[in-house]
Amino acid sequence: MKRILVCGALALSLAGCNSGTEKTEVSSAPSPSSAPSSAPPVAVQSTSVTTAELDKIVKPKEVYKLALVVKTRNNPFFSPMIKEAESEAKKLGMILEVQAPAQETDKEKQFAIVQDLTARKVDAILIAPADSKAIVPALKKAEDAGITVINLDNRVDAAAAKTGGLKPLSYVGADNEAGGKIAGKAMLKALNNKGKVAVLEGIRGADNAEARKRGFQSAVKDKLEIVASESANWDTQQAYNKTQSILAAHSDVQGLFCANDKMALGAMKAIAEAGKKGKVVVIGYDNIPDVKPYLQSGEMKATIDQHPDSMGGYGVKMAVGALTKTAPAGRELLVPLQVITK
C-alpha cells in the first residue's frame, strides 16, 4: 500500500484558513508510514496543537459526558468520525453520545440539539456545524453555561464568532483548500504539466466545495486549461449526467477532478461508457471504500483522504484535555491529508 503523507498542512495559523486563498503552504513528503492516524512529523505554531501532545492525554479519574453532534448520519464521511470518537471515548473512560439531524442541511434541528444538550449540561460538545455562521448563538449559550465546545470538520466562521462574542474554539479538521491543491498537484504530475481538464464541483456556496475548487484551480493555474467546471451537488447520478455532457462538449479533455468520490463514481461510469476508460485521468476526494477497486484498476488515479476518523478521535482527546486542563483550549489541529493512489 503506497501512501504519501502530506504534513505541511498542519502548520496553518488559525486565522488564515477560512477565507484566504494563498496562505497555505503545502509540501508533500513521502513517508513509509502506513497507519493514517499515527503521529506524523509536525511543524508547530503557537495556535496549533500537535497530535503528539494530544496522544499524551491519559484516562482521567473523573467520567465526563461528551456529546458529538455531526451534520447527519446519511453521509459516509461521518461514520468513521463517529466510530473513532466512540472508541477513543471508551479508551479514555468517557460517556459519549452522538446526535445528528436526519438531513445534512437541517441547521435548525442541529441548533435545537445544541440547545437541548446545553440544557442537559453535558460537559463537552463536539460539533461539525451544518452552517458555519448560523450555529454561533447556540454555541455561545453552551459556552456561557460552562460547556467545553470543540469544533470539528466545518470551521465556525471567524467573523460570525467574533460578532457573536464567542471565544476562539478548539478546532480539529482538515484544510480543504490544501486538499484541493494536493489534488491539483497530482493532476499536474499525471498530465506532465499540460492539457485540458474539467472539474466537478460540490454544492455551490458550501465552504468545503468552494475551498477544494479554489485549491485545485490555484495549483493548476497557468499550466492546465480548465475547460469546464460544473456542480454535481456531491451526487453520483448528477455527476454521471454532467460528465456525459462534458465529454460530449470537450472530447479532448484529459483530466477530471471530482470534489468528492461519490461524484467520481458517476463520472467514471460515464467515462467508461464513452469508451474513454484510462484516457481521462480521474482524481477524487474523500477516499470512501467504494473507490478502492477503481484505484486498483487505475480508472481512478488518486483520491485525497481527509481522515475524518482522526477528527473524531483527536476531537475527543482535545475535549478531555480541555476538561482536565492537561491540554490547552482554543488551539487547533489540522489532521494530515493523504494522497491515496492504490
Partner 1 sequence: MFRSRPACYAFLRTHILTHMNSKIVSALRPWLVLVLVCGAFSLHPGFLHTFWTRDYLPTIAQQAATNVILAVGLTFVILTGGIDLSVGSVLALCGVALGLSLKGGVPPFLAMLMALPLGVGVAFFVSKLTMRDHRDNKISTVISGACGLIITAVCGFLFARSLASGQSLIIALGATVLVGIACGFINGAVIAWANVPPFVVTLGMFTAARGLTVYATDGQSVSELPPQLGQFGQGTGLVSIALFVIVCGAILQMKTVAGRYIQALGSNEQAARLSGVNVERYKALAYVLSGLTAAIAAIVLTAKFGVADTGAGTGAELNAIAAVVIGGTSLSGGRGSVVGSLVGALTIAVLNSGLVLVQVPDTLQGVIIGVVIVVIVVVDQLQKGKS
Interface residue list for partner 1 (CB under 8 A): 73, 97-100, 102-103, 105-109, 111-113, 115-117, 119-121, 131, 133-134, 137, 159-160, 163, 203-205, 231
Contact in structure between 278 and 8 (CB atoms under 8 Å): no
Shortest Å, Cβ 141 to partner 1 = 9
Shortest Å, Cβ 69 to partner 1 = 9
What is d(CA 91, CA 337) in angstroms, rounded to the nearest whole number?
25
Nearer to partner 1, 32 or 205 (CB): 205
Torsions phi, psi for 24 (to 5 deg) = -95, 135
Sign of CA dihedral 35, 339, 10, 44: positive
Nearer to partner 1, 2 or 204 (CB): 204
Shortest Å, Cβ 235 to partner 1 = 14
Shortest Å, Cβ 108 to partner 1 = 7
What is d(CA 64, CA 192) in angstroms, rounded to the nearest whole number?
53
Nearer to partner 1, 209 or 253 (CB): 209
Nearer to partner 1, 202 or 266 (CB): 202
CA 219 vs CA 26, 188, 200, 308, 311: distances in Å: 10, 8, 16, 24, 26
Nearer to partner 1, 204 or 279 (CB): 204
What is d(CA 300, CA 97) in angstroms, rounded to the nearest whole number?
37
Shortest Å, Cβ 63 to partner 1 = 15
Contact in structure between 313 and 85 (CB atoms under 8 Å): yes
